[in-house]
Structure 1
Amino acid sequence: MKTYGSEPGMPSSVQVGISELVVSDGTEDGDETLKSYGLGSCLAIALYDPETGIGGLAHAMLPDGDTADHSDRKPGKYADTAIRALLRRMVEQGASYTAVEAKLAGGSDMFDFDSFGDGVGQRNIVAARDELDRLGVPIVAEDVGGDRGRTVEFTPESGTLLVKTSSDDGTNGVTEL
């Protein structure tokens, strides 16, 4: 696992890039943060077990991996396959399947393409909600949709998801989920 900013006493930080997913095993004394930058239509999917501190973050780019060409073999690329991969890896590290909760952020429709119907952002949100519902994982918080970019910082130990937003009009904000 790549870590950044690992000065003594500082939280360790792991960047989760587009189409990637990372699981934290809860052994970093509660100070490990998983970060994804530049979410537009992409969706950040944070899963965590509040009992063990085991959690993970995926930066999903597209909604449906079950019908996609899998020549790249990146489960983090698709909302549905990212959720299954995160959940599987978390349980392998000791998380309790029945205790896992979800938080979602992103899924903006930053561009208006009427000819395509629902944008990729909205389709990512629907795919993630459907997959989590199918697997029985409750969504406890979300900051999704709209037309603004987001960056997220997820701390599995506490289950805190910080969502930083920015808009074309220069307004910025931070929301804690």
Structure 2
Amino acid sequence: MLRLATLAMLAPVLTVMACAENTGWNPNYSAMNNGSSYASYLQQREVALDGKAAVPQAIPVQLPANAPSVLDLGATPTSTTPAKVVAVPRGSAPNAAPVTTTGPYAGTTPVLVKYAYQEHHDPGSSVYQRTGGSVAQAARTCSSYPSVDAAQRGFIAQGGPILDPKGMDPDGDGYVCGWDPRPVRQSNGL
């Protein structure tokens, strides 16, 4: 009877844990890797919560984005043409990521381009601490993706590079399945 009562108390907790709400898939938590000062604060806070660094003393203040209203969204036609990336001319802004000029998300920066600009180290440089991952496990996981770009986007969507729930980054460099940011940086003038 005691076992049944314990199981009844633990069942709701186990059910909520199975949802995996905070593993990086939720788009509401995308601020972790957007390159802003608040994203840096979030990363420092996560490391501090793991007990690996000091707790940040101040939360950075960031002005709200100029979000379009509902009326603006209803009146804006969307294009279905593929997005083009335009390189920002040298000298206009240091390390400014290129933005798309066409497509359904004009004015935005593609995820992998943004990530290549955000992470300044080369592949193979161990930056993020990893435990328990293996090269064999990473190879198995990588083989489930159609391309290295898709694997890198999936890794970022799952909370990478801070989190590595599938063990895709055993060396801790933040780049998975052979994805290399250097061609992206070179093609955009970095």
User: What is the TM-score with the length of structure 1 in the denominator?
Assistant: 0.31
Larger gyration radius, structure 1 or structure 2: 2
Q: More helix by proportion, 1 or 2?
A: 2
Q: Which has the higher contact order (CA 8 A, sep 6+)?
A: 1
